Structure 1
Amino acid sequence: MENLKLQYLKSFFTRFDACFIIEHFLRYYKTWVEIDPLLLQPWLTNDVALDMILLENQFPFFVLEGLYNLAIPHHETLDLPSFLNVAFNYFKPHNQQNIRPEKSLLDLKIHEGVLRMPCFKVHSSTKIFIRNIIAFEQCHHLCSPNYITEYIMILDFLINTGKDVNILVEKKILVNLLDDDAVATMVNNLCCNVTLPYIKSGYRSLCDELNGFYENPRNKYKAIFIHDYLR
């Protein structure tokens, strides 16, 4: 495996793409005196960032990390972090969900018929981010969990129309920076033609419990009574 990695690393050593990515990330980690003429316009900078997120433009991480360590072998003494931290710093502004290890986006819970979900922010770039993560999970679904695909499918169960989006916004589950109908269309289409052999037991039991609560006649009559007489 190590020999394969070494061959792969050597085959990419002269590629300008990898060198560009490393330099580009470093420019954002530390302010360079020299200005890159290719990125004088803000929209160009944003386009480059979005292009790097696309699955078809991905480099194997170990290639970039290996080149970084070869180019800057003593990066610790130069007050530069590991390439992982440099990359994380570059994409930090795009983490608009503000996801933290202790407060996972996928932490769905149900208690006495009440579904609790962490807040999810929907903006103009959400479709690009989510679609590329789903595509990545589809390419590796046999060897890694489909965390985001399963989450979007659960969201798709809850959202059919713009009215459903509006309810989730009122309940502070969604922060919507788009039109309600546009969000509904986006969610309904994200998992089209997506293969998911199974859904993890936690989500499956959550769906069963939600359906059971909904089908309970007592809960149905209670909802009708509140809707018709206790507005």
Structure 2
Amino acid sequence: MENSASREIQLEITGSASIRTSTECRIYKVPYHLRKWNEEAYTPQVISIGPIHHGNNKFQTMEKHKERCFESLKQRTGITLEDFERDIRPMENSIRQCYVETVVDLGSDDFVKMIMLDVSFILELFLKFNSESWPREYPLLVEAWLLDTVFRDLLLLENQLPFFVIEKLFNLAFPYGSNNRSLIQLTFDFFKTLNIYDRTPISIANEEIKHFTDLLRAFQLPESSKLPYRGPDTTFPKYSATQLHEAGVKFTKAPTKSQLNEAGAKFTKARTTSVLDLDFKNGELEIPTLTFEDGMEDLVRNIMALEQCNIRLDTYFTDFYIILDHLIDTTKDVELLIKKGIIVNCLGDSETVTSMINKLNRGIIRRGMNANYFNLCEKLNAFAEGFWNRNKAKLIRQYFNSPWKGTATIAAFIILALTLLQTIFTIKSSIGPKRV
């Protein structure tokens, strides 16, 4: 039986689907053992949403903008301050309970006002972004970087509102949707500009949405019905990408969802098309394309923090980045994956990407492992440790690990072969038949 705390809303995108929003939501403050490795990755820069960072003086400019958004929403919909308060107050205790730590002491009136202004800002932002030409004087367009930073801040774990609150006030303001679009459709349309997922809204039907960070995680995982079993045993690649390449492993980039759709029947096997899709078969390791650009580390760290904090969530996303950390030890590993089209580096030098990946898993606590990844790592290690592959890799490391050494080795082989041939001819001529 479906949880009574969940409600279904209809989503119309190329078809009909339902998405459940759960009032059983938990929003966490990132613990120190994770936060200390990159404080800024978890901290909003320009706007506070929810109570954790509320009241910080550096967000006062955006607080004034929230009030303008509330006035704009009232004019757009005809709802009043009393309408908002009437819907928010019965939910106040439920909303407060979503926050695991008591992070700010707000009275009832101040708490309700904060929720009202934060939701108004989000709804106005989504509506302007999706359906209207942006007013030239709109504050987020004054400086080019500001809107991108707001995008980023809205996805941080500590900067969340329960999704059911946003949905409740959206339904109050737009009983029949906004231009026949549901809240979830507006949300997808807004965040898809980040190019952070390969799924469509229709594929997340029947999955619960707690908040935007949780939704970001869902974007990058297969559908719940396709998630593999997790077991208590763990194992990871013993060798880096370059070492595996020397042992004969071929690296290829996984096809995107659109490529799979275009290929049609060619890809009929049951496999996901998520950003976490890994496959190893016949000596070929298939890895999804990873674009390293500004803001990527923040998004990855916040999803991993969510999986670390919420014991109910399996660490599927974290598994992937632990494996990636084992594959990448040096810049040579990054450069190999760039050459194969797996890594797209928009950050500049390879050292930046290497450092980022190697630091992501500091402080991470492992809870079992994706069974598919476990089997993949077992096969990958066995392949690299096979007699021929191991000795081929050893030969490459000892004699071909640089252009000069490789050239010298080839020259030595040629000289040795010529010397051997000369010796053979000399021996044959010396023992040949003597003339009478």
Output the TM-score relative to the length of structure 2.
0.48
- Asked whether the equivalents of residues 96 and 121 of structure 1 are also in contact (C-alpha less than 8 Å), the reply is no
Alignment of 1:95-106 (within 5 A): 95-96=195-196, 98=198, 102=257, 103-106=273-276
Report the Cα offset of residue 24 of structure 1.
Answer: 0.9
Is 1:61–2:230 an aligned residue pair?
no
Moved more, 147-156 or 24-33: 24-33
Q: Deviations over 1:95-134 (max 9, x none)?
A: 2565566422111111123211121111111101101111
**Greater shift after overlay, 91-100 or 111-120?**
91-100
Is contact 1:120-1:175 (8 Å) kept?
Answer: yes
Relative distance call for 1:129 and 1:162 in structure 2 (3 A) is same
What is the aligned-residue RMSD (CA, Å)?
Answer: 2.7
| Cα deviation code 1:2-38 (max 9, x no counterpart) | 4995623697754211111111111101115655542
Aligned residues: 228
Give the drift of 1:145.
Answer: 2.2
| SS of equivalent residue, structure 1 residue 115 | strand
Higher Cα radius of gyration: 2
Structure with the largest fraction of helix: 1
Aligned-partner residue type, residue 185 of structure 2: N
Aligned to 2:366: 196
Q: Deviation digits for residues 128-166 of structure 1, max 9, x if unmatched? A: 1101111111122x2222222111111001001111100
- Per the alignment, residue 286 of structure 2 pairs with 116
Structure 1 counterpart of 2:376: 206
The 1:33/1:25 distance shift into structure 2, 3 A limit, reads closer
| 2: CA distance, partners of 1:180 / 1:211 | 25
Shift in alpha-carbon separation, 1:123–1:27, aligned structure 2, 3 A: same
Equivalent in the alignment of 1:89: 189
State the match for 2:131 in structure 1.
30
Q: SS at the partner of 1:203?
A: helix
Q: 1:221 to 1:9 in 2, by over 3 A?
A: closer
Q: Between the two proteins, what is the percent identity of the paired residues?
A: 35
Give the aligned residue type for 1:18.
V
Gaps of 5+ in 2: 7-21, 24-89, 97-107, 204-256, 258-272, 401-405, 408-436
Note the residue ranges of structure 1 that are not aligned, 5 or more in a row.
none
Deviations 1:68-110 (A, max 9, x none): 01111122xx524110110111111102565566422111111
Separation in 1, partners of 2:341, 2:153: 31
Give the match for residue 337 of structure 2.
Answer: 168
Shift of 1:226: 6.1
Amino acid at match of 1:143: R
TM-score normalized by the length of structure 1: 0.87
Task: Give the match for residue 218 of structure 1.
Answer: 388
